[in-house]
Chains A and B, each alone.
Chain A
Amino acid sequence: MNALLNLASRILPGLGRHDDVYAFNGGVHPPEHKAESNTRPIAKLGTPKTLVLPLRQHVGHLPKVLVKVGDRVLKGQLLAEAEGTVSAAIHAPTSGTVTAIDEQVIPHPSGLPDTCITLSCDGLDKWAPLQPINWRLSDKKTLVDSLRLSGIVGLGGATFPSHIKLRSNSQSPIHTLIINAAECEPYITCDDMLMRERADEIVAGIEIVKHLLGAETCLIGIEDNKAAATEAMKAACQQGQALVKVVPTLYPSGDARRLIHLLLDLEIPSDKRSTDLGVQVFNVATVLAIHRYFAFGEPSISRIVTVTGNVASPQNFEVLFGTPLTDLIAAAGGAQDDTSHFIMGGPMMGFDLPSSQVPITKAANCIIAAKPDLFPAPPPAMPCIRCTRCADACPVNLQPQELYWFAKSDNFEKARDYKLFDCIECGCCSYVCPSTIPLVQYYRYAKSEIIAADKAKEAADLARERNDFRLARIEREKLERAQKHAERAAANKNEASAKADADEATPSATPSDSAVSDKQAAIAAAIARAKAQKLASGPAPDQPPASKTAASKADAQATPADKQALIAAAIERAKAAKLAAAQAGLAPKNTENVSPSVQAEIKQTDAIREKARKLTESDTSEPDKG
């Protein structure tokens, strides 16, 4: 079917109304299922009792939490600020109290828990003071910087922080802004309904983004299955703010690069970004959020979500972030009894939610209640027959069958060579595969293995560098020590040789035996005096002063023994002091020389430790109570 359509459009270029768009290769026509949810207007979902806000709602670094448990917050108040370059802020969707900051299950394919802020709503919905910004009067940099506080991310599903996409880039100025309103994935109608109902606000947002990017032209790409939305957008763009372009319905025309190709006949090279060629793409919902931020000061606290599939009345809802999925499903009339699970995103690129207890996040454009009839379990995969239908369907012009072989056999380097990372995981290949091989799952597996290996390599390089540095340091220290030793040895040698000279000189000067012994005794006495002086701290009082009468040799032998006795005595004293301190309940402290503030801090820490010690003691002594 798909091949036939492709063929027809190729034989008859300009088939239908799309003579000014440029078709890309591949793509599929899955059943649309859009009519279910686009007949009812967008409904506003009420404030639930509690909201759970995962910190991981966007691409990039986790934001830094600014509130603590027990804090009262107002609607629109900053809860977590963007940290690092690629990051986005999180705001309170309503007024209430922070009741927990802990790990809860988030809507993520892993199904793993992650840090979330739980907000208990007070029902007052009281706004924090908002600061609208007149974008026509401020300079671009200030506007983009303030957008960092808005928490706005790409609402098409990619959740890339918007303030980064709007930063000016002197190397490649943006000439064309493309508004992505294709919404090619089946079931999803949130952008469709948004355009029908709020076209004016979207166009206002387009003007802001055009201004910030310095773009001259703006094209809005809408698939031809959204006639009402097209009309509404055309009506709103009367003054020529943007040009509405209708593109043929073909999945995945809503992929940014595919849409650029469709509208501009521009193919973005694999190693470049669209901005390098002067094109930037924004989703309709994102530009609307930007408009609301500047016009009213409203941060990103809600979005439109399509609830469809196996629910009583499929519809689009404006939902506060953090709303439990169960509340949303209940608002859509509840899920039918035969619902097996929920899918977030569309049927082509979405993933199964780990439970129905997850919150709605910035990425949630669509929730589909699945039942076995609608989404049958995939039939067992058969061997690849190398029909290359996947290659025909691939919109990125990859060779999916080759990638499959490489991913299946863990031949990751080869998969990378075949441009695995250009794969957009659109699922066209899996959709057309006659052997029903879950191709995208293999690519995802290979991608995450390669990413993990790259990270491990980076860590290994860092470890090697640190180990090399440590070895070099040890070597250097060893050399320094050897040098010191050599210097000391040289000094000792000089001393010794001087002494030897003196010794040699004495017998030659005085031949008489008695004189020799007298002189030796005198020298020994002098040495002993010098030694006594050297012991600056002073010898122990019970040590007798070096006797002048003692023979020099005996004295020399006695000295080390005396020293040892001294050391032993010192150790004894230290031990006794320690014991006394321990008995008095005083632990030794080295805090005398630090500033009072640090001392206070140490005292505080000690108090906590004491408390903890007592606690553990009471725990061990009274096990019944625990």
Chain B
Amino acid sequence: MLTALYIMLGLALTLGVLLGISALLFKVEGDPLVARIDAILPQTQCGQCGYPGCKPYATAIAAGEADINQCPPGGDAGARALADLMGVEYKPLNAEHGVPKPKSVAFIDEATCIGCTLCIQACPVDAILGAAKHMHTIIASECTGCELCLAPCPVDCISMQAIAEQPDNWKWKYPIIPITPMHAQTT
């Protein structure tokens, strides 16, 4: 009777110590859930969700403060992936936060640009190159298409241009068998 008790006590102590050590050894820095949500988000940093960037939105979702359907650039697939990860019911995108648009990049009309640097300060990914009183230009490969540079521009010289389909970004389409109308035989 006592032996069993000692064994159980000993087991409890060893396991407790082991758990304590492993908790110290394998400590995870930060919130892994936030990182996983952040990995799903498209990283446009556009703020359409109502948060100042993708990471803050991810933090809000993890804390249960924000809904999963507030990210238009992520699209329907993004909302589904978030629902999957969070174990909640899928919801269609909330139109209040905007609608999904085709991926585009900003374009600065260099003749109109006055070099005010306001757009440079607005760009969340430092994709605009320029200096005060010098023409600015977009680094197209870094632009996420967040549209945050449009509003601050005092001369409205920035426009969004949809990325055109080219042979190198062209995709094979889902196979669709065309329906051809049958012509009735007239005799």
Task: Flag if A464 contacts B38 (CB, 8 Å).
Answer: yes
Expressed in whole angstroms, the minimum distance between the Cβ of B58 and any Cβ of chain A is 10
Q: Is B48 an interface residue (CB 8 A)?
A: no
Measured CA separation A467–B166 after assembly (Å): 28
Interface members, chain A 344-400 (any B CB < 8 Å): 378, 380-381
Task: Flag if B126 contacts A448 (CB, 8 Å).
Answer: no
Contacts of A340 in B (CB 8 A): none
A-B contact count (CB 8 A): 76
Measured CA separation A467–B42 after assembly (Å): 12
Expressed in whole angstroms, the minimum distance between the Cβ of B130 and any Cβ of chain A is 14
Measured CA separation A112–B166 after assembly (Å): 7
Expressed in whole angstroms, the minimum distance between the Cβ of A470 and any Cβ of chain B is 5
Q: Is A606 an interface residue (CB 8 A)?
A: no
Q: Is B29 an interface residue (CB 8 A)?
A: no
Contacts of B175 in A (CB 8 A): 381, 438, 441-442, 445
Q: Is A463 an interface residue (CB 8 A)?
A: yes
Q: Is B59 an interface residue (CB 8 A)?
A: no
Task: Flag if B142 contacts A466 (CB, 8 Å).
Answer: yes
Task: Flag if A445 contacts B172 (CB, 8 Å).
Answer: yes
Task: Flag if B171 contacts A462 (CB, 8 Å).
Answer: no
Q: Is A469 an interface residue (CB 8 A)?
A: yes
Q: What 0/1 readout, one digit per residue, does chain B (122-166) give for beta carbons within 8 Å of chain A? A: 001111000001000000001010000000000000000000011
Give the interface residue-count category, chain B.
20 to 34
8 Å CB contact of A467 from B125, B165, B172, B174: B125
Expressed in whole angstroms, the minimum distance between the Cβ of B143 and any Cβ of chain A is 9
Also in contact, A470 and B126, with CB within 8 A (given A106-B167, A445-B174) = yes
Contacts of A378 in B (CB 8 A): 177
8 Å CB contact of B44 from A438, A447, A463, A609: A463
Chain A residue, CB-CB nearest to B175: A441
Chain A residue, CB-CB nearest to B74: A460
Expressed in whole angstroms, the minimum distance between the Cβ of B71 and any Cβ of chain A is 12
8 Å CB contact of A112 from B144, B170, B177: B170
Contacts of A466 in B (CB 8 A): 125-127, 142
Task: Flag if A460 contacts B42 (CB, 8 Å).
Answer: yes
8 Å CB contact of A444 from B55, B125, B127, B172: B172
Task: Flag if A461 contacts B43 (CB, 8 Å).
Answer: yes
Contacts of B42 in A (CB 8 A): 456, 460
Q: Is A196 an interface residue (CB 8 A)?
A: no
Q: Is A56 an interface residue (CB 8 A)?
A: yes
Measured CA separation A529–B124 after assembly (Å): 49
Also in contact, A449 and B167, with CB within 8 A (given A466-B125, A466-B127) = no
Contacts of A471 in B (CB 8 A): 53
Expressed in whole angstroms, the minimum distance between the Cβ of B103 and any Cβ of chain A is 8
Contacts of A609 in B (CB 8 A): 111
Contacts of A114 in B (CB 8 A): 166-167
Task: Flag if A380 contacts B174 (CB, 8 Å).
Answer: no
Contacts of A381 in B (CB 8 A): 175, 177
Q: What 0/1 readout, one digit per residue, does chain A (439-453) give for beta carbons within 8 Å of chain B? A: 001101101110010
Q: Is B54 an interface residue (CB 8 A)?
A: yes
Q: Is A108 an interface residue (CB 8 A)?
A: yes
Measured CA separation A304–B165 after assembly (Å): 32
Measured CA separation A470–B142 after assembly (Å): 13
Q: Is B173 an interface residue (CB 8 A)?
A: yes
Q: Is B185 an interface residue (CB 8 A)?
A: no
Q: Is B187 an interface residue (CB 8 A)?
A: no
Q: Is A110 an interface residue (CB 8 A)?
A: yes
Contacts of A462 in B (CB 8 A): 142
Task: Flag if A460 contacts B125 (CB, 8 Å).
Answer: no
Q: What 0/1 readout, one digit per residue, does chain A (465-480) give for beta carbons within 8 Å of chain B? A: 0111111000000000
Contacts of B170 in A (CB 8 A): 108, 110, 112, 448
Contacts of B43 in A (CB 8 A): 459-461, 463-464, 467
Q: Is A171 an interface residue (CB 8 A)?
A: no
Contacts of B172 in A (CB 8 A): 109, 441, 444-445, 447-448
Q: Is B22 an interface residue (CB 8 A)?
A: no
Task: Flag if A110 contacts B142 (CB, 8 Å).
Answer: no
Q: Is A590 an interface residue (CB 8 A)?
A: yes
Expressed in whole angstroms, the minimum distance between the Cβ of A547 and any Cβ of chain B is 42
Measured CA separation A468–B42 after assembly (Å): 14
Q: Is B45 an interface residue (CB 8 A)?
A: yes
Q: Is B169 an interface residue (CB 8 A)?
A: yes
Expressed in whole angstroms, the minimum distance between the Cβ of A449 and any Cβ of chain B is 7
Interface members, chain A 100-125 (any B CB < 8 Å): 106, 108-110, 112, 114
Task: Flag if A590 contacts B171 (CB, 8 Å).
Answer: no
Q: What 0/1 readout, one digit per residue, does chain B (63-92) give for beta carbons within 8 Å of chain A? A: 000000000000000000000000000000
Contacts of B125 in A (CB 8 A): 463, 466-467, 470
Chain A residue, CB-CB nearest to B133: A590
Measured CA separation A112–B54 after assembly (Å): 35
Contacts of A447 in B (CB 8 A): 172
Contacts of A463 in B (CB 8 A): 43-45, 125, 142, 144
Task: Flag if A452 contacts B144 (CB, 8 Å).
Answer: no
Expressed in whole angstroms, the minimum distance between the Cβ of B174 and any Cβ of chain A is 5
Measured CA separation A463–B174 after assembly (Å): 29
Contacts of A464 in B (CB 8 A): 38, 43, 54-55
Task: Flag if B167 contacts A56 (CB, 8 Å).
Answer: yes
Chain A residue, CB-CB nearest to B180: A377
Also in contact, A467 and B53, with CB within 8 A (given A444-B172, A448-B172, A460-B43) = yes
Contacts of B111 in A (CB 8 A): 609, 612
Expressed in whole angstroms, the minimum distance between the Cβ of A125 and any Cβ of chain B is 31
Expressed in whole angstroms, the minimum distance between the Cβ of A426 and any Cβ of chain B is 16
Measured CA separation A462–B126 after assembly (Å): 11
Looking at A444, A456, A460, the one whose CB has the most chain B CB atoms below 10 A away is A460
Measured CA separation A472–B50 after assembly (Å): 21
Measured CA separation A471–B165 after assembly (Å): 33
Measured CA separation A590–B115 after assembly (Å): 13
Contacts of B41 in A (CB 8 A): 460
8 sample A-B contacts, Cβ–Cβ < 8 Å, listed by A number: A56-B167, A112-B167, A378-B177, A445-B173, A445-B175, A449-B171, A452-B169, A466-B125
Enumerate chain A interface residues (CB-CB to B < 8 A). 56, 106, 108-110, 112, 114, 378, 380-381, 438, 441-442, 444-445, 447-449, 452, 456, 459-464, 466-471, 590, 609, 612
Given contacts A110-B170, A378-B177, A448-B172, 13 further A-B contacts (CB under 8 A): A110-B165, A114-B167, A442-B175, A444-B172, A445-B173, A452-B171, A460-B43, A462-B142, A463-B125, A466-B142, A468-B55, A590-B133, A609-B111
